[in-house]
Structure 1
């Protein structure tokens, strides 16, 4: 699904960029151009960013747990 129509950026591209190290909206804007035109995509891109960072933190927590 396209999140940023102006720059033709999909949710998949945003998630891949986050997995590659992007951790702020500034990173997404620099790397993909998200939010650099009309700005209508910023809230949805921000939500995806937040959700992916929460998932990453959860994964790290799971790895840090001692084996039972």
Structure 2
């Protein structure tokens, strides 16, 4: 879905940017141009950014229990 109509930026591109290390709106603004024209996209872009950051945090917090049995 297109988030920023002015710069043709999709939610997928925002998630990819997060996967590549972007973690704030100023970075998203600078790297992708989100919110640089009319600004109507900023609130939804922030929502997509934060949801994907939260999702990444959950994945990186997984812990695996080592097996204590011998084979």
TM-score (norm 1): 0.91
Question: Quick check: which one's helix share is greater?
Answer: 1
Taking the TM superposition and a 5 Å limit, the aligned residue runs for 1:57-68 are 57-62=57-62, 65-67=63-65
Taking the TM superposition and a 5 Å limit, the aligned residue runs for 1:1-68 are 1-62=1-62, 65-67=63-65
Any stretches of 5+ residues in structure 1 without a counterpart? none
Q: Where in structure 1 do 4 or more consecutive aligned residues deviate above 4 Å? A: none
Q: How far 1:66 sits from its partner (Å)?
A: 3.9
Any stretches of 5+ residues in structure 2 without a counterpart? 67-71
* Aligned mates of 1:4, 1:35 — CA distance in 2: 7
Bigger Rg, structure 1 or 2: 2
